[in-house]
């Protein structure tokens, strides 16, 4: 079973790996971090296309998901407690684990050094976090300055950039709008607790027909203006290619990428820690250029996701604008995509991510 040991306590992270492309010597490694409930096998449909587009894909299972080390009782207690410093420390430690995972890949010879070519930079690796995985993504590069100078220098020789891929709102800590302005079944008291999982699966993986004019400028709009233009409900009676992703999977496919147990034990609590921790991590990640100042940030948003998901990208840009001086941020729109393009459109998604990795 492929696992990496990321600390002196023997903590391990399980991963899937496509291996290196045989005919692309300066390939780029793209490290993928999943969100809540749906773990790294959600990226598997992209794997057959990785080598075609010059990528090595490595998808990690976060702690408390299959194959990776469960959280300790103390870590779970910190998550569920109300001490903000304990919560912040617990989340910070997950970022250090991810740094150590990348360093482990380098030391194991699984990543190329970055090289300059006539057409730009080749080789190296890029770190990508999807959905609520950006909670860990932000804490990873918010705390790079806590690594040793040796580790910082080593990462600098290999790490090309960070992709913030369709971020869940919680990852950057916004004040959530009232339910009537931004619907989500997780906050809807009318949805019974025992039904929330099923309703959430349809809601989060459906396609939404938002106002086209809003989509062209929502990053720059006021919150109230773009909320007024967001579709609150999925497309009614959608065509086959726009059915909710999780409803198109076979039972075996869904079971193979879903872990409700891990989500219930810890990851729902991760989503619900004090929001100021995540806003601070996001701000620090985007503005702390003392370490790896050339690290580029790619913010990718999909234009048929729920408005709740789109709030994640809007809020990140709000924080960046308020901060003024930040890392270089490229904003990328995936047209006609819902929150699961890596499953519904795997080749197109692989090609797109290869172009920005």
Looking at residue 256, which CATH number applies to its domain? 3.40.50.1820
pLDDT tens profile 44-73: 999 999 999 999 999 999 999 999 999 999
pLDDT bin (cut points 50, 70, 90) of residue 163 is very high
* Domain count along the chain: 1
DSSP string, 23-77: T-TTPEEEEEE--SSB-GGGGGGGGGGTGGGTEEEEEEPPTTSTTSPPPPHHHHH
pLDDT tens profile 145-156: 999 999 999 999
Other beta carbons within 10 Å of 107: 11
What lies within 8 Å, CB to CB, of 357 at 6+ separation is 28, 30, 55, 126, 128, 160, 161, 163
Domain residues for the domain of 118 are: 3-356
E strand spans, 139-265: 159-167
Whole-number pLDDT of residue 268? 80
What lies within 8 Å, CB to CB, of 93 at 6+ separation is 75
Percent above pLDDT 70 for the chain? 100
The alpha carbon of 109 is separated from its chain's Cα centroid by a whole number of angstroms, namely: 25
Long-range (24+ apart) CB contacts under 8 A made by 67-72 are 67/1, 67/3, 67/12, 67/14, 68/3, 68/12, 68/13, 68/14, 69/10, 69/11, 69/12, 69/13, 70/265, 71/265, 71/266
194: pLDDT strictly greater than 90? no
Query: Scanning the structure block, which residue is given the tokens 């490694």?
Result: 29
1: pLDDT strictly greater than 80? no
329: pLDDT strictly greater than 90? yes
Contact assessment for residue 219 and residue 314, using Cβ atoms and an 8 Å cutoff? yes
What lies within 8 Å, CB to CB, of 79 at 6+ separation is 71, 87, 90, 266, 269, 270, 273
pLDDT bin (cut points 50, 70, 90) of residue 186 is confident
| Structure-token pair, residue 43 | 């990226």
């Amino acid at each position: 079973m492929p696992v990496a040991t990321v600390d002196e306590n023997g903590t391990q992270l399980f991963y899937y790996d496509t291996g290196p492309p045989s005919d692309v010597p300066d390939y780029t490694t793209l490290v993928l971090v999943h969100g809540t409930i749906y773990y790294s096998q959600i990226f598997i449909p992209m794997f057959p296309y990785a080598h075609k587009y010059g990528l090595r894909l490595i998808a990690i299972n976060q702690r408390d998901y299959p194959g990776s080390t469960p959280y300790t009782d103390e870590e779970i207690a910190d998550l569920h407690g109300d001490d903000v410093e304990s919560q912040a420390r617990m989340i910070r430690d997950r970022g250090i684990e991810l740094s150590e995972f990348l360093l482990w890949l380098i030391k194991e010879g699984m990543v190329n050094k970055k090289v300059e070519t006539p057409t730009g930079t080749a080789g190296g690796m890029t770190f990508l976090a999807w959905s609520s995985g950006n909670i860990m993504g932000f804490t990873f590069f918010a705390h790079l300055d806590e690594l040793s100078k040796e580790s910082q220098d080593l990462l600098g020789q290999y790490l090309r950039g960070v992709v913030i891929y369709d971020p869940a709102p919680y990852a950057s800590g916004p004040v959530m709008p009232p339910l009537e302005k931004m619907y989500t079944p997780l906050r809807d008291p009318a949805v019974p607790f025992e039904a929330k999982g099923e309703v959430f699966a349809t809601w989060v993986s459906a396609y939404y027909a938002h106002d086209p004019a809003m989509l062209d400028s929502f990053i720059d709009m006021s919150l109230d203006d773009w909320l007024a233009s967001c579709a609150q409900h999925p497309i009614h009676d959608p065509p086959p290619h726009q059915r909710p992703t999780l409803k198109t999977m076979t039972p075996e496919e869904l079971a193979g990428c879903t872990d409700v147990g891990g989500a219930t034990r810890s990851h729902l609590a991760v989503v619900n820690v004090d929001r100021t921790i995540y806003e601070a991590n996001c701000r620090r990640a985007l503005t702390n250029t003392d370490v790896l100042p050339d690290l580029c940030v790619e913010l990718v948003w999909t234009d048929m996701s729920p408005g709740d998901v789109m709030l994640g990208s809007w809020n990140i840009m709000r924080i960046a604008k308020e901060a003024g001086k930040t890392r270089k941020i490229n904003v990328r729109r995936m047209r006609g995509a819902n929150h699961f393009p890596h499953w519904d459109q795997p080749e197109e998604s692989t090609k797109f991510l290869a172009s920005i990795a």
